[in-house]
């Protein structure tokens, strides 16, 4: 599975996992799972339109994901707004449906845009994907502090003069960029699984931000690699394994957190018993 034609897939998947792990950390922190789902899905419509016009699908993805990000950011009031996200999403999808009806594209095209086609990534796409990834990561690094502040303590951030709306729009744009580079690999419908499952698991394991981000990337890498390997071996779609493994990592994270809580309660129960014994009082 490491033959020449698979190298592209491995390289791209690694880049995708790193970006998904980092950006996904903030998606989970900010509770923005819906936009993380909506923007890639809407971008699919752009890719369909681009294919119709004979342009690179990457450009179609970029344009529509940015449009989606801006629509959600500006139409929504005070940060996230589920209704606007939902309607923006379906409007872009409806456009995609209209585009698709105009073409005689074969089904596999739609399928691979939606669910990803790991073997479809050509060597020529690796450079733009890497550049976009670098831009995403640089952007996150650049406004890491305002981003974290507005995510965790929005009122304090406002008091310090950080405009929550601007940070929100900027973050959505980063999400749009991340989308553009990842859709060819995992497909429009599943990239967000990578942005939710691994980071959520990471946050269940630790509350320290730096460590959580590293864990998030690590879990995302494992998820994507395992998905590609499994897809190669069993011929089932990569997306299926991504969705399943993301759910697995999320579930494991929650189980771990629940186990730690029970253990902490048991321990504190034992501690209070010991203290009671030591002080001679009934436990």
Partner 1 sequence: MHQLSTAVFGPGFFTSPQVHVAASIGAIVAVVSAVTGVFTVMRGQSFAGHALGDVSAAGGSGALLLGLTPLPGFVGAGIAGAGVMDMIGVQRLRGRDLATGIVLGAAIGLSALFLYLGATSGSATGATQQILFGSIFTIPPGTVAAVAILGALALACIGAVARPLLLATLSPDIAAARGAPVRLVGLLFMLALAVSVALSALAIGAILSTALLIGPAAAALRVTTTVPRALVTACLTGVAATWLGILLSYDSYYWGAGHQALPVSFFIVAIIFVTYLATGLPGARAARRRAPATTAAAAADQDGIAA
Q: Interface residues with partner 1 (CB under 8 A)?
A: 28, 31-34, 36-37, 41, 75, 77-83, 85-87, 89-91, 93-95, 97-98, 100-102, 107-108, 110-111, 114-115, 187, 189-190, 192-193, 196-197, 200, 236-237, 239-244, 246-247, 250-251
In DSSP notation, 179-195 reads HHHHHHHH-TTTHHHHH
User: Whole-number minimum distance, CB 203 to partner 1, in Å?
Assistant: 9
| 148 contacts: CB under 8 Å, gap ≥ 6 | 29, 209
State the Cα–Cα distance between residues 149 and 281, nearest whole angstrom: 46
Chain centre distance of CA 32? 10
Q: Whose structure tokens read 């880049």?
A: 15
State the Cα–Cα distance between residues 185 and 273, nearest whole angstrom: 55
User: Whole-number minimum distance, CB 163 to partner 1, in Å?
Assistant: 17
Q: Which is nearer to partner 1, 87 or 214 (CB)?
A: 87
Q: Which is nearer to partner 1, 37 or 224 (CB)?
A: 37
User: Whole-number minimum distance, CB 113 to partner 1, in Å?
Assistant: 10
Closest to 44 measured CA to CA, from 57, 54, 33: 57
Helical spans, DSSP H, in 76-106 = 82-102
Q: Whose structure tokens read 């592209």?
A: 8
3-state secondary structure of 76: coil
State the Cα–Cα distance between residues 83 and 170, nearest whole angstrom: 20
Q: Which is nearer to partner 1, 126 or 244 (CB)?
A: 244
Q: Which is nearer to partner 1, 77 or 130 (CB)?
A: 77
Chain centre distance of CA 62? 16
User: Whole-number minimum distance, CB 52 to partner 1, in Å?
Assistant: 13
User: Whole-number minimum distance, CB 162 to partner 1, in Å?
Assistant: 19
Q: Which is nearer to partner 1, 81 or 130 (CB)?
A: 81
Q: Which is nearer to partner 1, 10 or 111 (CB)?
A: 111
User: Whole-number minimum distance, CB 177 to partner 1, in Å?
Assistant: 20
């Amino acid at each position: 599975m490491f033959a020449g034609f698979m190298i592209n897939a491995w390289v791209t998947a690694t880049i995708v996992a790193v970006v998904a792990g980092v950006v996904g950390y903030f998606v989970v922190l900010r509770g923005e799972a819906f936009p993380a789902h909506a923007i890639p899905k809407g971008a699919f419509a752009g890719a369909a339109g681009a294919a119709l016009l004979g342009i690179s699908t990457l450009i179609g993805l970029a344009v529509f994901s940015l449009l989606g990000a801006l629509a959600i950011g500006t139409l929504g009031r005070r940060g996230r707004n589920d209704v606007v996200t939902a309607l923006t999403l379906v409007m872009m999808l409806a456009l995609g449906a209209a585009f698709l009806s105009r073409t005689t594209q074969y089904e596999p095209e739609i399928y691979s845009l939606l669910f990803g086609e790991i073997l479809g990534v050509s060597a020529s796409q690796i450079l733009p994907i890497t550049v976009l990834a670098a831009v995403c990561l640089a952007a996150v690094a650049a406004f890491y502090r305002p981003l974290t502040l507005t995510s965790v303590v929005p009122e304090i951030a406002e008091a310090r003069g950080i405009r929550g709306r601007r940070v929100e729009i900027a973050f959505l744009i980063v999400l749009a960029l991340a989308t553009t580079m990842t859709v060819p690999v995992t497909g429009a419908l599943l990239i967000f699984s990578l942005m939710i499952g691994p980071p959520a698991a990471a946050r269940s394991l630790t509350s320290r931000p730096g460590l959580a981000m590293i864990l998030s990337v690590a879990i995302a890498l494992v998820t994507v690699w395992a998905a590609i390997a499994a897809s190669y071996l069993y011929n089932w779609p990569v997306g299926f394994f991504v969705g399943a493994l993301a759910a697995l990592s999320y579930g494991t994270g929650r189980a771990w957190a629940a186990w730690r809580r029970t253990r902490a309660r048991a321990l504190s129960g034992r501690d209070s018993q010991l203290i009671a014994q030591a002080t001679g009082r009934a436990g």
